[in-house]
């Protein structure tokens, strides 16, 4: 009798414990789904607080070759697919219409890919479809528009780097450019290029940011019409400047 009663009591405790676990788990799932459903902007797919951002600056102040355009498109698609969950992708262009403030052509957050969510709570196939329809498709349409050639009188690269930084959030910056700064403040063009130290000082003065970028990646565009010696001076200037405004810097060729 005593053993039977103990056995019954034990089974009862197990049932109660399992019931509590199921209720708590269901509650947590509801809270999770509720937060995912409502805590973001329907147009940008971004959450209402500042998640990390990937900022892209595209220099279209000079014509691009077809190959460069194809490489740019491939890198942008790769960047979009590689974003962290809810990371913002913000793409800006310098061209004849932008002046000293780059034009924003894309600004959305990654709503999540199929392999970034738990199959316990959500349907990975449905999430992947939402990513393609809501994020990847608008990005592809924007990339197609980038194929239109651009040209401008100024290339305010330093000014653009400074104005795009938002210090309250974590940001990485990707630049597609020949890095040939040209503005009223300082220019890398002209017959009498100033001394390297003077150029570094002027660019640093323009590039002042409250908080450094987490990382800056430069995809350098080759311009055969620019003398080799001048291009080396340009790279030397930027190699001194960028570490002052970014925790990490990397250079690649487009």
Burial 221-242 (b: 16+ CB within 10 A, else e): beeeeeeeeebebbeebbebbb
**pLDDT value at residue 107:** 92
**pLDDT value at residue 10:** 60
φ and ψ of 177, to 5 deg = -165, 165
Q: For residue 147, which of 55, 39, 68, 51 has the smallest C-alpha distance?
A: 68
Residue segments in the chain with a per-residue pLDDT below the cut of 70: 1-15, 17, 22, 24-42, 48-49, 113-124, 127, 192
**pLDDT value at residue 76:** 95
* CB-based contacts of 231, cutoff 8 Å, min separation 6: 223
Q: Rounded to 5 degrees, what angle do the CA atoms 242, 188, 61 make?
A: 85
* CB-based contacts of 50, cutoff 8 Å, min separation 6: 166, 168, 169
Residue 204, classified by CB atoms within 10 Å of its CB into exposed (0-12), middle (13-18) or buried (19+), is middle
End-to-end CA distance of the chain: 82
Alpha helical stretches, state H, the chain: 2-38, 66-81, 124-131, 137-145, 157-164, 196-206, 228-245
Predicted TM-score (pTM) of the model is: 0.79
DSSP 8-state secondary structure symbol assigned to residue 149: -
Half-sphere exposure at residue 71, Cβ-oriented, CA atoms within 13 angstroms:
15
Residue 18, classified by CB atoms within 10 Å of its CB into exposed (0-12), middle (13-18) or buried (19+), is exposed
**pLDDT value at residue 120:** 54
CB 140 within 8 A of CB 51: no
Distance CA 91, CA 13 (A): 58
**pLDDT value at residue 210:** 86
**pLDDT value at residue 142:** 92
**pLDDT value at residue 6:** 47
**pLDDT value at residue 8:** 55
**pLDDT value at residue 46:** 78
CB 109 within 8 A of CB 87: yes
**pLDDT value at residue 162:** 92
């Amino acid at each position: 009798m005593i053993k039977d009663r103990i056995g019954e009591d034990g089974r009862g405790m197990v049932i109660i414990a399992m019931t509590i676990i199921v209720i708590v788990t269901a509650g947590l799932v509801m809270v999770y789904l509720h937060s995912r459903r409502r805590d973001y902007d329907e147009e940008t797919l971004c959450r209402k607080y500042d998640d990390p951002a990937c900022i892209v600056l595209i220099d279209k102040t000079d014509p691009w070759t077809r190959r460069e355009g194809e490489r740019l498109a491939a890198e942008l698609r790769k960047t979009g697919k590689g974003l962290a969950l809810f990371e913002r992708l913000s793409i800006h262009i310098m061209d004849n219409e932008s002046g000293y403030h780059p034009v924003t052509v894309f600004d959305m957050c990654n709503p999540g890919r199929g392999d970034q969510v738990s199959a316990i709570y959500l349907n990975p196939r449905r999430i992947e479809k939402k990513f393609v329809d809501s994020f990847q498709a608008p990005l592809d349409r924007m990339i197609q528009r980038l194929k239109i050639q651009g040209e401008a009188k100024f290339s305010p690269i330093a000014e653009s780097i400074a104005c795009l930084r938002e210090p309250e959030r974590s940001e990485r910056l990707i630049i597609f450019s020949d890095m040939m700064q040209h503005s009223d403040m300082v220019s890398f063009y002209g017959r009498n290029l100033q001394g390297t130290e003077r150029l570094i000082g002027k660019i640093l003065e323009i590039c002042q940011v409250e908080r450094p970028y987490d990382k800056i990646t430069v995809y350098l565009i080759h311009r055969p019409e620019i003398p080799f010696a001048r291009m080396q001076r340009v790279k030397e200037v930027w190699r001194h400047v960028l570490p002052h405004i970014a925790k990490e810097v990397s250079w690649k060729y487009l």
